[in-house]
Structure 1
Amino acid sequence: MSEDVRLVAWVRGRVQGVGFRWFTRAKALEIGGLSGFALNLGDGRVQVVAEGARESCEGLLEWLGSDDTPGSVEGVTEMWDTPRGGYEGFAIR
């Protein structure tokens, strides 16, 4: 069984105003078992926080850096941590 983890990812590129957060939420729900949020940052990046099974978080991270996302991703910076909990589902903020 996969351990639960916390993924924090910062996505750079043309990722605001293109439905990126909505599609990220949809992908997280499709993968299943993930909680967290997607948030537009003031500097043009999108921050994604996801908690759940490591393999599920890795799947979301792989998607974030793929050509399947809306807009144009130039890069993704990630940080792994232990889950903190407290999220109801996967939200757009």
Structure 2
Amino acid sequence: MSEKFETGAVAFQLAIFGRVQGVGYRAFVREVALAHGLCGHVRNAPEGHVEALIGGERGAVEAAIARLAEGPPGARVSRIDRIAAGAAGLPAGFSILR
């Protein structure tokens, strides 16, 4: 994880459900994460949902998750499940995985 994060850093593994594949949702997640200064990655899950790992300052992470619940045009997010993840060892930047 980047040294810029202080003690208020958190990370979550997200499972995002709804109409989230084939609608530009992964690019939207990356855009939101970068706009909030977050690290991590996003990918499509074979079961039809989207998985993301996001980490950074608590306020920025919470704001990003709120935006992810809205989604881009064409997407319909029905729910976001989250599990706390260790903030240490997050990759620098934010990537879209295949």
Residue number in structure 1 paired with 2:3: none
Aligned length: 91
Unaligned 5+ segments in structure 2 are 1-5
C-alpha contact 2:55 2:90 (8 A) present in aligned 1 = no
C-alpha contact 2:21 2:49 (8 A) present in aligned 1 = yes
Q: Distance in 2 between matches of 1:86 and 1:30?
A: 17
Of 69, 79, 82, which residue of structure 1 is paired with 2:86?
82
Percent identity, please: 32
Large movers: runs of 4+ above 2 Å: none
Of 29, 33, 43, which residue of structure 1 is paired with 2:47?
43
Q: Residue 56 of structure 1: CA displacement?
A: 0.9
Of 21, 40, 49, which residue of structure 1 is paired with 2:26?
21
C-alpha contact 1:37 1:91 (8 A) present in aligned 2 = yes
Q: Deviations 1:33-84 (Å, cap 9, x if unpaired)?
A: x110011000001011111111111111111112x43411111111123313
Unaligned 5+ segments in structure 1 are none
TM-score of the aligned structures, taking structure 2 as reference length: 0.83
